[in-house]
Amino acid sequence: MIPSVSVPSAVPVLETSRLRLRGFRADDFDAWFAMSRSIDYHRYFTPEPMPAEEVWKLLLRSAGHWAVMGYGFWAVEEKASGRFVGGIGFLNLKRDIDPPLGEAPEMGWVLDPAIHGQGYASEGVAAALEWAASYFGPERMVCIIHPDNVPSLRVAARFGFHEYARATYHGAPIVLLERPAQPA
Protein backbone atom coordinates (compact mmCIF):
# COMPACT_ATOMS: atom_id res chain seq x y z
CA MET A 1 0.00 0.00 0.00
CA ILE A 2 1.27 3.47 -0.84
CA PRO A 3 1.42 5.51 2.36
CA SER A 4 -0.97 8.45 2.45
CA VAL A 5 1.35 11.05 3.86
CA SER A 6 2.30 14.47 2.67
CA VAL A 7 5.25 14.67 0.33
CA PRO A 8 8.21 16.40 1.98
CA SER A 9 9.11 19.75 0.46
CA ALA A 10 12.76 18.75 0.48
CA VAL A 11 14.70 15.54 0.74
CA PRO A 12 15.52 14.96 4.41
CA VAL A 13 19.22 14.86 5.23
CA LEU A 14 20.37 11.92 7.35
CA GLU A 15 23.75 11.82 9.06
CA THR A 16 25.71 8.95 10.55
CA SER A 17 29.17 9.04 12.04
CA ARG A 18 30.78 8.75 8.58
CA LEU A 19 28.03 9.42 6.04
CA ARG A 20 25.61 12.11 4.91
CA LEU A 21 22.53 10.94 3.01
CA ARG A 22 21.13 13.87 1.05
CA GLY A 23 19.21 14.70 -2.10
CA PHE A 24 20.86 14.18 -5.46
CA ARG A 25 22.42 17.15 -7.24
CA ALA A 26 23.46 17.64 -10.84
CA ASP A 27 27.11 17.77 -9.74
CA ASP A 28 26.83 14.13 -8.54
CA PHE A 29 26.69 13.02 -12.16
CA ASP A 30 30.43 12.92 -12.96
CA ALA A 31 31.27 10.87 -9.86
CA TRP A 32 28.32 8.52 -10.42
CA PHE A 33 29.19 8.03 -14.08
CA ALA A 34 32.85 7.31 -13.24
CA MET A 35 31.78 4.89 -10.52
CA SER A 36 29.34 3.13 -12.88
CA ARG A 37 32.17 2.22 -15.26
CA SER A 38 33.61 -0.30 -12.78
CA ILE A 39 32.65 -3.94 -13.31
CA ASP A 40 32.42 -4.24 -9.50
CA TYR A 41 29.71 -1.56 -9.58
CA HIS A 42 27.45 -2.79 -12.37
CA ARG A 43 28.04 -6.56 -12.63
CA TYR A 44 25.00 -7.55 -10.59
CA PHE A 45 22.46 -5.43 -12.45
CA THR A 46 23.70 -4.71 -15.98
CA PRO A 47 25.98 -6.76 -18.22
CA GLU A 48 27.73 -3.63 -19.52
CA PRO A 49 28.43 -0.25 -17.95
CA MET A 50 25.53 2.16 -18.35
CA PRO A 51 26.02 4.91 -20.92
CA ALA A 52 26.12 8.48 -19.65
CA GLU A 53 22.52 9.04 -20.74
CA GLU A 54 21.27 6.17 -18.54
CA VAL A 55 23.25 7.35 -15.51
CA TRP A 56 21.79 10.83 -15.99
CA LYS A 57 18.26 9.36 -16.19
CA LEU A 58 18.96 7.39 -13.01
CA LEU A 59 20.06 10.56 -11.23
CA LEU A 60 16.92 12.39 -12.39
CA ARG A 61 14.70 9.45 -11.40
CA SER A 62 16.32 9.36 -7.98
CA ALA A 63 15.68 13.06 -7.45
CA GLY A 64 12.15 12.96 -8.88
CA HIS A 65 11.01 9.97 -6.85
CA TRP A 66 10.93 12.20 -3.77
CA ALA A 67 8.65 14.75 -5.46
CA VAL A 68 6.16 12.13 -6.66
CA MET A 69 6.25 9.49 -3.93
CA GLY A 70 7.48 11.35 -0.85
CA TYR A 71 10.43 8.99 -0.56
CA GLY A 72 13.32 7.90 -2.74
CA PHE A 73 17.03 7.32 -2.91
CA TRP A 74 19.52 9.49 -1.12
CA ALA A 75 22.89 10.40 -2.54
CA VAL A 76 25.48 9.03 -0.13
CA GLU A 77 28.36 11.34 0.67
CA GLU A 78 31.40 10.54 2.76
CA LYS A 79 31.36 13.20 5.50
CA ALA A 80 35.13 13.46 5.93
CA SER A 81 35.85 14.08 2.25
CA GLY A 82 32.49 15.32 0.89
CA ARG A 83 32.88 12.71 -1.87
CA PHE A 84 29.79 11.17 -3.52
CA VAL A 85 29.99 7.40 -2.89
CA GLY A 86 26.64 5.99 -4.00
CA GLY A 87 22.94 5.79 -3.30
CA ILE A 88 20.70 4.23 -0.66
CA GLY A 89 16.97 4.43 -0.27
CA PHE A 90 13.50 3.32 -1.24
CA LEU A 91 11.59 3.23 -4.47
CA ASN A 92 8.56 1.90 -6.24
CA LEU A 93 9.31 1.18 -9.90
CA LYS A 94 6.19 -0.90 -10.55
CA ARG A 95 8.54 -3.62 -11.76
CA ASP A 96 7.12 -6.23 -14.13
CA ILE A 97 8.22 -9.21 -12.08
CA ASP A 98 6.62 -12.44 -10.96
CA PRO A 99 5.83 -12.71 -8.14
CA PRO A 100 4.99 -9.00 -8.07
CA LEU A 101 6.51 -6.76 -5.42
CA GLY A 102 3.21 -4.94 -4.98
CA GLU A 103 3.21 -1.54 -3.36
CA ALA A 104 5.71 -2.41 -0.61
CA PRO A 105 8.60 0.05 -0.48
CA GLU A 106 11.60 -1.49 -2.26
CA MET A 107 14.89 -0.81 -0.54
CA GLY A 108 18.18 -0.67 -2.39
CA TRP A 109 21.78 0.37 -2.01
CA VAL A 110 24.67 0.72 -4.43
CA LEU A 111 28.04 2.05 -3.38
CA ASP A 112 31.38 2.84 -4.95
CA PRO A 113 33.48 -0.34 -5.10
CA ALA A 114 36.40 1.68 -3.68
CA ILE A 115 34.63 1.78 -0.30
CA HIS A 116 33.29 -1.79 -0.21
CA GLY A 117 34.10 -3.73 2.93
CA GLN A 118 34.19 -0.69 5.23
CA GLY A 119 30.69 -1.04 6.66
CA TYR A 120 29.29 1.98 4.80
CA ALA A 121 26.36 -0.02 3.35
CA SER A 122 25.28 -1.20 6.80
CA GLU A 123 25.72 2.28 8.25
CA GLY A 124 23.63 3.89 5.51
CA VAL A 125 20.95 1.17 5.48
CA ALA A 126 20.54 1.52 9.26
CA ALA A 127 20.01 5.29 8.91
CA ALA A 128 17.54 4.85 6.05
CA LEU A 129 15.56 2.21 7.95
CA GLU A 130 15.40 4.45 11.01
CA TRP A 131 13.93 7.21 8.83
CA ALA A 132 11.55 4.70 7.20
CA ALA A 133 10.16 3.62 10.57
CA SER A 134 8.80 7.11 11.14
CA TYR A 135 7.76 7.72 7.51
CA PHE A 136 6.18 4.39 6.51
CA GLY A 137 5.33 3.10 9.97
CA PRO A 138 5.13 -0.66 10.41
CA GLU A 139 5.26 -1.50 6.69
CA ARG A 140 6.55 -4.60 4.90
CA MET A 141 9.58 -3.78 2.73
CA VAL A 142 11.17 -5.69 -0.12
CA CYS A 143 14.42 -5.74 -2.04
CA ILE A 144 15.81 -7.64 -5.00
CA ILE A 145 19.42 -8.81 -5.13
CA HIS A 146 21.38 -10.90 -7.61
CA PRO A 147 22.06 -14.33 -6.03
CA ASP A 148 25.83 -13.95 -6.53
CA ASN A 149 25.93 -10.63 -4.67
CA VAL A 150 26.83 -12.21 -1.33
CA PRO A 151 27.87 -8.95 0.41
CA SER A 152 24.49 -7.33 -0.33
CA LEU A 153 22.64 -10.47 0.72
CA ARG A 154 24.54 -10.30 4.03
CA VAL A 155 23.56 -6.65 4.54
CA ALA A 156 19.94 -7.50 3.78
CA ALA A 157 19.95 -10.39 6.27
CA ARG A 158 21.55 -8.19 8.93
CA PHE A 159 18.52 -5.88 8.73
CA GLY A 160 15.87 -8.59 8.77
CA PHE A 161 15.28 -9.20 5.06
CA HIS A 162 14.78 -12.85 4.17
CA GLU A 163 14.29 -14.65 0.86
CA TYR A 164 10.72 -15.38 -0.17
CA ALA A 165 11.15 -16.17 -3.88
CA ARG A 166 13.55 -16.40 -6.80
CA ALA A 167 12.79 -15.00 -10.21
CA THR A 168 14.28 -13.72 -13.42
CA TYR A 169 14.28 -9.98 -14.05
CA HIS A 170 15.53 -8.51 -17.32
CA GLY A 171 17.03 -11.88 -18.16
CA ALA A 172 19.05 -12.21 -14.95
CA PRO A 173 18.37 -14.28 -11.84
CA ILE A 174 17.31 -12.41 -8.71
CA VAL A 175 16.45 -13.17 -5.13
CA LEU A 176 13.32 -11.47 -3.80
CA LEU A 177 13.62 -10.60 -0.13
CA GLU A 178 11.17 -9.12 2.32
CA ARG A 179 11.37 -7.52 5.71
CA PRO A 180 8.13 -8.01 7.62
CA ALA A 181 6.38 -5.00 9.10
CA GLN A 182 8.30 -3.97 12.20
CA PRO A 183 6.38 -3.23 15.40
CA ALA A 184 6.44 0.41 16.47
Tens of pLDDT along the chain (184 residues)?
444 444 445 899 999 999 999 999 999 999 989 988 887 776 677 777 788 998 899 889 888 899 999 999 999 999 999 999 999 999 999 999 999 998 999 999 999 988 889 999 999 999 999 999 999 988 999 999 999 999 999 999 999 999 999 999 988 899 999 999 987 6
Q: Are 169 and 95 in contact (CB under 8 A)?
A: yes
C-alpha neighbours within 13 Å on the C-beta side of residue 175: 19
pLDDT at 81: 94
Single-letter amino acid code for the residue at 40: D
Enumerate the H helices of the chain as residue ranges: 29-36, 39-42, 52-69, 120-135, 150-158
Burial-class residue 111 by CB neighbours within 10 Å (0-12, 13-18, 19+): buried
pLDDT at 11: 93
Q: Are 36 and 50 in contact (CB under 8 A)?
A: yes
